Amino acid sequence: MENKRQITYLEAIREAMQQMMRKDENIYLIGEDIAEYGGAFGVTAGMVDEFGKERIRNTPISEAALIGIASGSAMTGMRPIAEIMFSDFMTIAMDQIANQAAKARYMFGGKASVPMVIRTPGGGGTGAAGQHSQSLEALVAHIPGLKVVMPSCPYDAKGLLVSAINDDNPVIFIEHKLLYKNKRYVQYVPEEVYGISLGKGDIKRKGKNLTIAATSFMVQKSLEAAEEIKNEKGIDCEIIDIRTLRPLDLDIILTSLEKTGKLMCVEEAPVFGGFMGEVAAQVAEYGFDLLDSPILRVAGRNCPVPYSLVLENEMIPGVERIKEGIVDLFEKI
């Protein structure tokens, strides 16, 4: 890999959009400050120079308006990529997302489709406090008609975004803020266009003693915890990146459990009502006989995300808390 280019998560996302826009003139970007400014996190920087303001469209500060425009244009033949500046602000556009975009294809008997991607940065860790740091994936994953994707690395980010853009259904594509420019997680990403099927998880680390199912940045933290716990305790963890929350790849988790017999679910969102509760329920329903211990969840504390970084780091699971969970499954249960 040393002779192959290594790019960041942000660069992989930008490249996917650029390449798809060059192939299909019906694809355009819409959002707040995405043109000259390049978006809140710089993901669309420079794209207006290539594609112009007709296809890189700034909007007023109204998530309801920009998602309404994107939904309507998708139903009439365009393929919009809408950026919501922070995932917290999806709540402002929830009528357009949940009651319009998610329902249109079903309610029109398949005669209408909504090929729209809503890209949005999620998660905390930046000291941006309770209104700019939430993990709201369970909120949108609950809504029939939406697909929900959470890539954890540059390779997956590009391939999953290509597939999301090609999909004829609305896709919520949640990107973690701490992955965007993180040089620690640069990765070889092919220059050519490629897709990764939505609804397929991925084994990021093979192991034999314990299955860890995780999402987004928690995959990276789980990988770090798994290496440390292997050296410290000899416990060998298998890490499954769920990647697509809806549709969910339950089979990859059950197949892993046939080998390990133990499951720990890791997510950043508050534990109460979190998406991993759904994962645990489905595993209990369809794979109960595979378990030799109760399922353990490691997740965010049940409170708004604090502004103080010290408190935020306590609220959001870190490597040490994941390691404690692994030990709990082996020594305390």
Residues 64-92 pLDDT 10s = 999 999 999 999 999 999 999 999 999 99
Residue 194 located in a structural domain: no
Residues 230 and 159 in one domain: no
Each residue of 284-298: pLDDT tens digit?
999 999 999 999 999
Give the pLDDT confidence score for residue 2 in this predicted structure.
53
Please state, in angstroms and rounded to a whole number, the distance separating the CA atoms of residues 202 and 134: 25
State the pairing for strand pair 237-241/202-205. Answer: antiparallel
Contact call for residues 283 and 254 (beta carbons, < 8 A) = yes
Each residue of 28-54: pLDDT tens digit?
999 999 999 999 999 999 999 999 999
Residues 54 and 179 in one domain: yes
pTM for the full model?
A: 0.96
Please state, in angstroms and rounded to a whole number, the distance separating the CA atoms of residues 89 and 120: 9
Residue 195 located in a structural domain: no
Residues 233 and 173 in one domain: no
Catalytic residue annotation? 132
Portion of the chain with pLDDT greater than 90, in percent: 97
Mean pLDDT of the chain: 96
Residues 155 and 240 in one domain: no
Q: Quick one: how far is CA 20 from the chain centroid?
A: 20
For 298-328, letters b (16+ CB in 10 Å) and e give bbbeeeebbeeeeebeebbbbbeebbebbee
Contact call for residues 41 and 14 (beta carbons, < 8 A) = no
Give the pLDDT confidence score for residue 218 in this predicted structure.
98
What CATH number did the domain enclosing 327 receive? 3.40.50.920
What CATH number did the domain enclosing 103 receive? 3.40.50.970
Please state, in angstroms and rounded to a whole number, the distance separating the CA atoms of residues 85 and 95: 18
Each residue of 247-287: pLDDT tens digit?
999 999 999 999 999 999 999 999 999 999 999 999 999 99
Give the pLDDT confidence score for residue 330 in this predicted structure.
83
* Ramachandran region, residue 109 (left: φ > 0; alpha: ψ -120 to 50; beta: rest): left
First to last CA, the chain: 42
- 60 prior amide bond cis, ω within 30: no
Each residue of 103-146: pLDDT tens digit?
999 999 999 999 999 999 999 999 999 999 999 999 999 999 99
Give the pLDDT confidence score for residue 331 in this predicted structure.
77
Residues 39 and 143 in one domain: yes
Q: Tell me the pLDDT band of 1, cut-offs 50, 70 and 90.
A: very low
Q: State mean pLDDT over 175-180.
A: 97
